[in-house]
Chains A and B, each alone.
Chain A
Amino acid sequence: MIICERKPIDEIKGFIAGKKKVLLVGCRGCVTVCNAGGTKEVEILAALLRLDAQKEGVELTVDEFTLERQCDPEYVDELADLVAKGYEVILSMACSVGPQFLSRRYPKERVFPSLNTCFIGGALAHGVWAEHCQACGNCIIHNYGGMCPVSRCSKSIMNGPCGGSSNGVCEISKEVECVWHLIASKYMDEGRLEEFAPIQPIKDWSKSRDGGPRKIVREELVK
């Protein structure tokens, strides 16, 4: 899923400075699952903004709504009646796709992102997420013991390790595990180190950002 985290509160306060009526929109997709923008986080941020306004002695109304997903126009439509009430600012608590879809659908509104979209990853434990994919467009993890060197190696090298790894940890930080150490260990454990040794061919990056923004058109689905 797409892993996000909330922007610092001061940055969000900057978006609504001087405004009196704000709509806060959550998303029940990835950001609910990664505890960044679901109903609960919407409630928390709304409460924070209201409390802050009270403390500062300014008038502020914050309304809350959580959409099924912000990346599908049909769900974004559901917001129409609410938007018609007139808000000075709409804060989206989805990944950056959300605020973009909201502004396209409601072009007169001022829509701001209240999350930072961080990476594609998964949960290691409650409250811990790690990057596992960089959307390179041409998956090759089967050549690497099922692990992704593109996203999980600091240098994205295809024929590692690089020599900067020690005790299974990357030289850039003790917090970063060396994926090449994991790949090699796995091959060793399985007794097929010879499959690890061959030089991997140069990766085809044309599916990545080679041709600018990407789009997929599935002819059989398009009516």
Chain B
Amino acid sequence: MANSTNKSGAVMVIGGGIAGIQAALDLAEMGFYVYMVEKGPAIGGRMAQLDKTFPTNDCSICMISPKLNDVGGHINIEILTLTDVLSVKGGEGDFSVTVRKNPRYIDMSKCIACGECAAKCPKKVSNYFNEGVDNRKAIYVEYAQAVPLKFSINAAECIYLTKGKCGNCQKVCPAKAVNYEDKAEEVTLRVGSVVVASGFDVFDPSVAETYRYGQWPNIITSMEYERILSASGPFQGHLVRPSDHKEPKKIAWLQCVGSRDVNRCDKRYCSAVCCMYAIKEAVISKEHSPSLEASIFYMDIRTYGKDFEKYYNRAQDAGVKFVRSRIHTLTPGADGNTVLEYIDDAGEKQSETFDLVVLSVGLTPRVNLPKLAESLEIDLNEDGFVQTQPLTPINSTRAGVFACGAVNEPKDIPFTVMEASAAAEAAGRVIAEAKGTMTKSRVYPPERDVKNEVPRIGVFICHCGINIASVINIQEVVDYCQDLPFVELCTNTLFACSADSLGKIKEAIDEHKLNRLVVASCTPRTHEPMFREALAQAGLNKYLFEMANIRDQNSWVHQKEPAKATQKAKDLVRGAVAKAALLEQMYQTKVSLTKEALVVGAGAAGLNSALSIAKLGYPVHLVEKTDTLGGNGPKIFSREKDVRGYMVKLIKEVEENPNIKIYRNSYPTSSHGFVGNFETKFQGPDGEFSIAHGVTVLCAGGHAHKPTSYLYGENPNVLLSLDMDELLATNSETIKKPGQTFAFIQCVESRDPDRPYCSKICCTHSIESALTILDRNPEATIYILCRDIRTYGFREKLYQEARSRGVRFIKYCLDCGKPEVVAGANGKLNITIKDHVLNRPLLIEADYVTLATGIDPTPMREEIVEVFKGQLSAEGFLFEAHMKLRPVDLATDGQFLAGLAHYPKPLEETIVQAKASAARVATILSKDHIMVGGVIAVVDPDKCAVCCTCVRACPVQVPKIVRNETDPALRGHAYMEPAMCHGCGVCVSECPGKAIKFQFFTDEQLLAKVEAMIVEKKAKPA
């Protein structure tokens, strides 16, 4: 595409954690070239360090590792490691960013990560990846799955670089990759926009004397604890105290260390994630050791996210003890134990001894963030995070520079991922005209058809330096493989993955007319795409390739038995060759797509989603079931932001955007098709109509729950939060009458067995309302009756302000009794609640009672999932594709969601999710076609018994029973749309009629492989 503007089609993403990764992947798929700048030697960030993640208990590194490889292998993402940003000149659309690439002292093009250097390095230093719990060498990779998987030398630690002696690594490196002369280099890159995703630091608790961190041995941080629990951590996942390697019997978690503590820690905000991670650590620890006693000492439990409250409930059922107490003093006990004193619920003083105390440390701004902000010329807020505004939560103070993730405010992974996609939308939108001007694409020679050829297999056995060759006798394996069936060529190579070797592989394909390739080296997880690429460049179908993993599955695990390892290598290669002989050419076909989006629901989510998609340049059909746009938005009043004004402006902008077509009073009745090619029918005011669209965004919304308790609907002075908003928005005089008492009751018909979820917004909203009342009527008396106050992140400041201005918070719990409300004299409302400090009932005479009810999902939810074939959670919210890493995607490709349909959330988060949905949409609509097929399931209609097993077993509802095309009178059969099949293989293994073939993993291929591996060598056919 010619660039008709002076804008650059490239974006710089600063930070290689999950936020930066998501933003980079989205941007690259949207058609922009990405420079990913990472300060450390590898990307991955904090998420790579975590053990499991809440609330699904998925393994963190297992989830992020495929994303690391996606970034590492993306043709349009350039990773710059060990790099600092020095200055950003210019303006939005045309920035010149100067960066300094610090020396790695390792030639990345040569290093094959064999680890020989680290084995011989004499210098041990504290391993910061393991939070200093163990040591590593001065030459190192951070972790096994690191991308790029290349060693680096920390100059400050290296003996040679500090004293000019040693040089061991250079001597032993088989690839000659060590270069002590490496120098820092400054480069200037031109980009159109910048995304800051540089993450957070973990609070250092040694500054708070109380916690004895660094003074006593068995006081550790939660981040150290993550590494201890991790299977790849310093103790291989054995739960032991780092001081004496004893298994702890009793562990205490102390919450809010470095959060919600102005006094000792100088941190007034809530770190938003610590309650959940502490509960998760407690639950996982009890899985490690069921007899373990786990206690969490907290002020408020803040389990406000999707499925968090249920996780909290399950933890209580599993025996995790929750104690509402902020521990003020730690006392030393015997054997390195710690004694904690606290007052229990009954008011009794307790003293308990713990083997291990885990400090649930908060999130703080990165220590280098002020310097980075200076280079970027952006402002930081008073807490030291990047300054943003509530209704533009990812915009920094400089146009064209956006910020996402914990660099803005502490937040969890799902919301970080949403923000990252939203930042991608913003960064892409300002340079939308320059889309595709910087991206590269691959060009291949025409493919040779080998269908009718006898297999001619080339086998390359990799030494991997000494990684494989030091254990396995490579020459013996090579000699052995010469005689395997169909093998034309078998040779060894020092590093199969080096550019040089890939060239030789291509030459060999030509010279020996090879039509299948086997590489015996490492793992397909990281290397298969590279070798497939080599095949494609040599004019062979990329699926004619098979790998034998003789490193991870052989030389690494059988180091002490070289003879047996050599035998196993022969077995593995024999199996790979047997499968390779049966490999077939497979083709992905191009399918065109409709470059238009459907957005269902025109509340704040739908409007934002539609507007962002339209501004990225794609036509949008916006369908709304009522005759007004805006949803709940125009009903909200906020002290912190002008929501009503914002909604008016937003609606106007949507109505005036030529790319958006609005359909009012219309609702969907049926939908079919697949990504790129959906067709949905609607019932509208003028009858039925239909829309063809490539993607769908479901923004079906939700609404405030209408309670049946606390005299709601019976007494005019009992209000819902939105009723109070109306009084405040209209600046009602009734609020200002002197001497009035206002009460707010939180969690009304929420967080109970009928609605076991927290609606996230109500605590903050009631406090905002209370403060507005005080602003206008300073003499008012205000009570907030609550269970836990959940003002997460910077919202905590509102809670502090409310307390300091005299708002009285009285806690209640379900077990000890909810408040009671009855009509009193003179139109007052009499509230009775038991005060937990006085331990006796209090009577409050209130003029107004505001009920903070939760958010219910839309009543249309059943119809929505019926029409769009989605799934609902038990609470009735739409199920996203993955709770942690795909919070904006639905399980069906090409479908996305935003707003309350996903889960209750404040407006600013709805805006973020809606903008994120636009970025996700653009990753699909930016393409001219989609490629379908390849490694997918295919049904043989003759064998299909139409039993519906696949229909029921498929996790993404792809199989359908279709009519017999040739003769409709005959029985039909199951069918998987190639564009929809994810290639997981579940249906293949479940099919009772063996009617489904899994391409590239057919029964014939796998059985041939297994048989060859267990049966001795068959003679070569004559």
Contact = CB atoms under 8 A, between A and B. Distances in A.
Contacts of B992: 32-33, 35, 38-41
Contact of B949 (A28, A29, A39, A126): A126
A217 interface: no
B952 interface: yes
Interface in A31-75: 32-35, 38-41, 43
B945 A32 contact: yes
B639 interface: no
Nearest to A44: B992
Residue in A29, A33, A41, A43 whose Cβ sees the most chain B Cβ within 10 Å: A33
Given A32-B945, A126-B949, A43 B993 contact: no
Nearest to B1003: A43
Given A125-B952, A126-B952, A126-B953, A33 B947 contact: yes
Contacts of A33: 945-949, 992
B947 A43 contact: no
Contacts of A28: 945, 993
A193 interface: no
A83 interface: no
B952 A43 contact: no
A172 interface: no
A11 B39 CA distance: 66
B326 interface: no
B991 interface: yes
B994 interface: yes
Instruction: Give the secondary structure class of A's interface.
Output: mixed
Instruction: Give the secondary structure class of B's interface.
Output: loop
Interface string B946-969: 111100110000000000000000
Contact of A35 (B946, B949, B994): B949
A39 B996 CA distance: 12
Interface string B982-1022: 00000000111110000000000000000000000000000
Contacts of A41: 992
Contacts of B990: 126
B948 A40 contact: no
A35 B989 CA distance: 12
Interface residues of A, number: 14
A9 interface: no
Contact of A40 (B952, B953, B991): B991
Contact of B994 (A29, A38, A125, A126): A38
A123 B943 CA distance: 21
Interface string A122-159: 01011000000000000000000000000000000000
Contacts of A35: 947, 949, 992
A185 B953 CA distance: 31
Contacts of A125: 952
A39 B993 contact: yes
B1009 to A, nearest CB: 17
A125 B948 CA distance: 10
Contacts of B945: 28-29, 32-33, 38
Contacts of A32: 945, 947, 992-993
A40 B993 CA distance: 6
Contacts of B994: 38-40, 43
Interface string A6-46: 00000000000000000000001100111100111101000
Contacts of A39: 943, 992-994
A39 B994 CA distance: 6
A123 B993 contact: no
Nearest to B991: A40
Residue in A29, A32, A34, A43 whose Cβ sees the most chain B Cβ within 10 Å: A32
Contacts of B948: 33, 123
Contacts of B953: 126
Contacts of A34: 947
Contacts of A40: 991-994
Interface string A195-215: 000000000000000000000
Contacts of B947: 32-35, 38
A38 B990 CA distance: 11
A125 to B, nearest CB: 7
A43 B993 CA distance: 10
B987 to A, nearest CB: 11
A37 B946 CA distance: 15
A125 B946 CA distance: 15
A200 to B, nearest CB: 34
Contacts of B991: 40
Contacts of A43: 994
A32 B947 CA distance: 7
Contacts of A126: 949, 952-953, 990
A29 B953 CA distance: 20
Nearest to A127: B952
Nearest to A1: B947
Nearest to B952: A126
Interface in B905-955: 943, 945-949, 952-953
B603 to A, nearest CB: 33
Contacts of B949: 33, 35, 126
B48 to A, nearest CB: 36
B152 to A, nearest CB: 50
A123 B990 CA distance: 15
Contacts of A123: 948, 952
B986 to A, nearest CB: 10
Contacts of A38: 945, 947, 992-994
A87 B945 CA distance: 28
A69 to B, nearest CB: 11
A32 B948 CA distance: 11
Nearest to B951: A126
A39 B991 CA distance: 9
Nearest to B954: A126
Interface in B872-927: none
A25 to B, nearest CB: 15
Interface of A: 28-29, 32-35, 38-41, 43, 123, 125-126
Given A33-B949, A40-B993, A40-B994, 7 more contacts: A28-B993, A32-B945, A33-B946, A33-B948, A33-B992, A34-B947, A38-B945
23 contacts: A29-B945, A32-B945, A32-B947, A32-B992, A32-B993, A33-B945, A33-B948, A34-B947, A35-B947, A35-B949, A35-B992, A38-B945, A38-B992, A38-B993, A38-B994, A39-B943, A39-B994, A40-B991, A40-B992, A40-B994, A43-B994, A123-B948, A125-B952
Q: Name the 3 nearest CB pairs between A and B, nearest first.
A: A126-B952, A38-B992, A33-B947
